[in-house]
Amino acid sequence: MRRNDFFKTVFGTLAVASLQGFSTKNAGLIRSLDTWPTINPDDEQFWRFVRSQFPLTDERAYLNTGGLGASPYFVIDAVKAKMDELERVSETGHSEEIWKEIKTAAGQLLGCDPEEIAFTRNATEGINIVCNGLPLKRGDEIITTTHEHVGNSVPWLALLKREGIVIKLFEPSTESAQENVDRIEKLITKKTRLISIPHATTTTGQILPIKQISALAKSRNIWLFVDGAQTAGMFAFNLTDLGCDAYSTCGHKWLLGPKETGLLYVRKEMLDVIQAKFVGAYSDDGFDLAKGTLNFHPTAQRYEYGTVSIPLRVGLGAAIKFLQRIGMDNVWKRDQALSTRLFNGLRQIPYVKVLSPANDSERSALITFKHEKVPYLALQNHLNSYNLRTRGVSEGGVNALRISTHIYNTFEEVERVLEAARTAWKD
Ligand SMILES: Cc1ncc(COP(=O)(O)O)c(C=O)c1O
């Protein structure tokens, strides 16, 4: 499906629905994280409280965190306050201290050294830094999946056009994690330089076995890049332990940060391999134009340059704090409880085919399904009429609907999806 068609479909429906009125749920809003009630992931009241920390309207169920996450007031307040503070004096507010603080929190979240993290504007920017920074030349082969998001397709295709790299594809198997490792292994040749795969696919939300793939890549002296747009902020993991060479994510999906924020992880040993190509102020650790000398910054900061928005970065830091206040294990517990109910419920409905993996350890909080009798765009329209904001998945010819469940979603919303799926077709 073309992007424009998608937006027309969704916003056509929205124009009819009123976006007014935040209802009484905002009565539970507490603007400071210090005065929150006890965190109890097994208590629906607690999750109602969490929901009330977001300006999200009750008028429609927002089920597209995989596309864009909603930010809580805590994040919005942090962005606004920083913007107000800086605009009063018209300063950038650039501060390596603030950057360090945010990267330290991000390092805790992602399981890596803060010095291995660069700020980016989105997941795609990080992908571009890796793709264009690696020393890849004509005839070098990379392996990726048939289920890539446009953001992890176009940069490699541009490299194919410009430099003549070769792209080899495998279709992810949702049946078995090992089958994916085997499919990758079958594609490896002497010319393979890189494996580029998502942590969780944008199509079915399948969590790929990164650790096993990383072991395979290492044993063959191949780099491993992971597109993490769909996993940071959904569940806890440790990048050092996963063993990939680089990982790119965004702040504006599951992390619930401001739009146009992202994080790129580059393993320390890879900093001199992945060349910094877009550079300027902050990329260096000393330079002399007259002498023709330049030292790159010793950390992943070398990939950053020029004037940036401090309010957005501070907002990203606030988003990480917000999730850490709940606890990533609790976040995942909630996301998984909702998505598991959805997965099980959908599987009971005649003509509905769930494409997301049946294996719990490979299933994320993205559940994708189709209807044997109803084309997916018509199905999406039907769900729109229940005020359900979903995402159509055309990547890889999947042609299905994707539902994301995150901490602000409720079991009532999941039941509404099931009811809409049930009424999509009458024999
Ligand atoms: C797997 C995957 N990669 C990359 C992207 C692009 O993310 P961004 O818009 O932050 O560049 C997305 C967005 O949906 C995605 O799902």
- In the three-class reduction of DSSP (H, G, I as helix; E, B as strand; rest coil), residue 399 is classed as coil
Q: Residue 43 has what DSSP assignment?
A: -
pLDDT at 27: 58
Alpha carbon distance 327, 315 (integer Å) = 18
Distances (CA, A) of 336 to 322, 332, 348, 365, 404: 19, 6, 18, 6, 10
pLDDT by 10-residue block (mean), the chain, 427 residues: 42 37 60 94 96 96 98 98 98 96 98 98 98 98 98 98 98 95 98 98 98 98 98 98 98 98 98 98 98 98 98 98 98 98 98 97 98 98 98 96 98 98 96
What is the 229 CA–ligand 1 centroid distance (Å)?
A: 5
**What pLDDT sits at residue 324?**
98
List of residues 6+ apart from 348 with CB closer than 8 A: none
342 three-class SS: helix
Burial 129-147 (b: 16+ CB within 10 A, else e): bbbbbbebeeebbbbbbeb
425 C-alpha to center of ligand 1: Å? 32
The pLDDT value given to residue 13:
40
Q: Cβ(227) to ligand 1 under 6 A? A: yes
Q: Is residue 107 packed enough to be buried (19+ CB in 10 Å), middle (13-18) or exposed (0-12)?
A: buried
Task: Determine the angle formed by the axes of helices 376-384 and 411-422, rounding to 10 degrees.
Answer: 130
Nearest 5 degrees, angle CA 2-CA 255-CA 302?
Answer: 90
- CB distance 425 to 416 below 8 Å: no
pLDDT given at position 53: 97
* Ligand 1 center to 148 CA (angstroms): 9
CA of 149 to the centre of ligand 1 (A): 6
| 180: its two tokens | 């994916």
Q: Which residues contact 113 (CB under 8 A, 6 or more apart)?
A: 107, 240, 268
List the one residue out of 137, 126, 138, 254 whose CA is nearest residue 196: 126
Contact 346, 424 (CB under 8 A): no
Q: What are phi and psi of 293, to 5 degrees?
A: -115, 150
Residue 26 pLDDT = 54
Q: Ligand 1 centroid vs 43 CA: distance in angstroms?
A: 32
Q: Does the beta carbon of 124 lie inside 6 Å of ligand 1?
A: yes
Our answer on whether the CB atom of 230 is closer than 6 Å to any ligand 1 atom is yes
What does the alpha-carbon distance between residue 276 and residue 118 come to, in Å, rounded to a whole number?
Answer: 11
CB 130 within 8 A of CB 225: yes
Residue 80's CB is within 10 A of a number of other CB atoms, namely 13
Q: Is 249 helix (H, G, I), strand (E, B) or coil?
A: strand
* Ligand 1 contact via 251 beta carbon (within 6 Å): no
CA distance 80 to 315: 9
Query: What's CA 349's distance to the chain center, in Å?
Result: 29
Tokens at residue 202, please?
Answer: 């944008």
Tell me how far apart the alpha carbons of residues 305 and 126 are, in angstroms, rounded to a whole number.
13
224 in contact with ligand 1, CB cutoff 6 A? no
State if residue 130 touches ligand 1 by the CB under 6 angstroms criterion. no
Ligand 1 atom with least separation from CA of 201: 1
Largest CA distance in the chain: 79
Supply the pTM of this predicted model: 0.93
Q: Is the CB of 250 under 6 A from ligand 1?
A: yes
Euclidean distance between CA atoms 48 and 409, whole angstroms: 9
Q: 127 C-alpha to center of ligand 1: Å?
A: 10
Contacts of 88 (CB under 8 A, 6+ apart): none
Residue 230 C-alpha to ligand 1 middle, in angstroms? Answer: 7
State the Cα–Cα distance between residues 404 and 69, nearest whole angstrom: 10
DSSP-derived secondary structure letter, 72: P
Please give the pLDDT value at position 21.
Answer: 36
